[in-house]
Structure 1
């Protein structure tokens, strides 16, 4: 087992030196998570949102978007995250105070050159607060600030971990235009400001992420359209205080999505998005389901 880990670790580190943006090629923010109703806070109360994500990739790209020649490279990940949201009656800046916590369960497996390594368990936990506005029956928005706490399992000797071992601060602005019989447009625009991994001395670069959805309401609770995300790393990673050349990642994704609003307080969204124009990251396909249930 130790030999397997070392062999896989060597393969992954070889890839990382040429291509991985952010430490391990991932992010503390689950890119692509948001869909329709991203910026529309529900009425005051407590809500449970469930996010399910399935991600698979068999290609790793370098800083120029070329495939890194690692035989048998594959990434398979499944995540189920519970988000507990509290919409209060407390007025702030003309809106309402909101708060939430996100607890993700993650399972990830990475294979390369006939070897593989996997990890599963509780990932890093997010805590956040913000202000929600309802500008009109159609236009809604939220300004938010999240902090990601490095509580997920992490071992610097393992090539694969569910925890990142560093904190992140994530300011974001979310906006939704909702029309049950017409245009629906949603976006979450956020920054990911990463801290340093104290065990490795590695600091992942800061990131910009935009989750988006565009659809048309059919008048019966259903909205159909397209969705995806835009990811751009804004600064290079740093190892022991020195910039890592070619480490600024980039990825776009797009695909079909839908929403169903029951009209009784709960709704569900789904999205299948294919990544393209990827640099310094794995390139694959992601599937998301999100449900909201009031209590």
Structure 2
């Protein structure tokens, strides 16, 4: 097994259903979670009989909820998102346009908490929820190897509203709408072992039928830069997230400037791979320059193995 056998992390969903007058997008968070694709983003698992399984554990903590100018919206704010997701990816020997075809599924379990107060009015914003999140299916993955040191793949992810949702609750594990996400990923390795990986993704959201609210189209660029040291790769990773189009809702929702959100994040990233052993990766990111959304820290640990 060579470097092509590294397991790429798949996206998990995080539903944070909070009033659209308080948060950007209806949910106060991206429709699909950022900070997923780091080292080896361009590589999918090898073709095997069973496929590859991965377990990913992550935690996100925020102490700020910011408006379009970067000012606090809520006082004494705190939000915690804990997730555990199981991913299965099956690459096949079938080919299309020179690429191997594959497919996959992501099943997330979430534990959510939020606490804060609306300034002046002193209205509490408190809630918690846990359970199954919105499942993602990946009906196609196409993997190319244009050169020995370059790997690329494209895929389509469809997020299904399987998580619990109630429009009257402050926070829920489900978003109550579908999200379609085309993505392109690549990894380039120099002869000296320096790695450049990137992922580019769009999130296209359908309407939440319970609230007649449609979150705008979202764009995410994730990246990782690092140096290989035998079995280890060490460097920096992060992401740039930006909402490209306005949210749409009934006039009574009082959307300000399209309710568009944006944020950036960066931090250390580490991965380990030795033939015959699981692929392991870890990162810790700090968010900054957030607008119309929360700002905090995130850390994630991934373990993957092909069978």
Q: Give me the TM-score of the superposition, normalised by structure 1.
A: 0.90
Residues 1:115 and 1:231: Cα distance change in structure 2 (over 3 Å) = closer
- Corresponding position: 1:124 with 2:124: no
- Do the aligned residues in 1 keep the contact of 2:106 with 2:137 (CA within 8 Å)? yes
Residues 1:124 and 1:180: Cα distance change in structure 2 (over 3 Å) = farther
Task: State the 1:178 CA deviation.
Answer: 3.4
Q: Of the candidates 246, 268, 272, which is equivalent to residue 236 of structure 1?
A: 246
Identify the residue that residue 188 of structure 2 maps to in structure 1: 177
Is the deviation greater in 71-80 or in 235-244? 235-244
Task: State the 1:291 CA deviation.
Answer: 1.8
Distance of 2:125 and 2:206 partners within structure 1: 31
Distance of 2:31 and 2:142 partners within structure 1: 22
Distance of 1:265 and 1:204 partners within structure 2: 41
SS in 2 for 1:117: strand
Spell out the pairing of 1:75-114 with structure 2 (5 A cutoff).
75-113=79-117
Identify the residue that residue 4 of structure 1 maps to in structure 2: none
Identify the residue that residue 262 of structure 2 maps to in structure 1: 250
Deviation per residue, 1:243-265 (Å, 9 max, x gap): 82231100000001111112225
Task: State the 1:47 CA deviation.
Answer: 0.3
Q: Of the candidates 38, 45, 70, which is equivalent to residue 42 of structure 1?
A: 45
Residues 1:213 and 1:250: Cα distance change in structure 2 (over 3 Å) = same
Deviation per residue, 1:66-125 (Å, 9 max, x gap): 222x22211011001111000100011101001000000011100013663100001001
Residues 1:153 and 1:136: Cα distance change in structure 2 (over 3 Å) = same
Q: How many residues are matched?
A: 279
- Flag structure 2 segments of 5+ consecutive residues without an equivalent: 1-17, 118-123
Task: State the 1:292 CA deviation.
Answer: 1.2
Identify the residue that residue 4 of structure 2 maps to in structure 1: none
Identify the residue that residue 162 of structure 1 maps to in structure 2: 173
Distance of 1:181 and 1:79 partners within structure 2: 36
Identify the residue that residue 237 of structure 2 maps to in structure 1: 227
Q: Of the candidates 118, 134, 147, which is equivalent to residue 136 of structure 1?
A: 147
SS in 1 for 2:30: coil
Residues 1:116 and 1:71: Cα distance change in structure 2 (over 3 Å) = same
SS in 2 for 1:58: strand
SS in 1 for 2:76: coil
SS in 1 for 2:265: strand
Identify the residue that residue 302 of structure 2 maps to in structure 1: 290
Identify the residue that residue 26 of structure 1 maps to in structure 2: 29
- Do the aligned residues in 2 keep the contact of 1:21 with 1:233 (CA within 8 Å)? no
Q: Of the candidates 59, 66, 71, which is equivalent to residue 64 of structure 2?
A: 59
Distance of 2:149 and 2:211 partners within structure 1: 47
Is the deviation greater in 176-185 or in 207-216? 176-185
Q: Give me the TM-score of the superposition, normalised by structure 2.
A: 0.87
- Do the aligned residues in 2 keep the contact of 1:208 with 1:234 (CA within 8 Å)? yes
SS in 2 for 1:79: strand
- Do the aligned residues in 1 keep the contact of 2:126 with 2:170 (CA within 8 Å)? no
Task: State the 1:181 CA deviation.
Answer: 4.7
Distance of 1:163 and 1:244 partners within structure 2: 22
Residues 1:263 and 1:107: Cα distance change in structure 2 (over 3 Å) = same
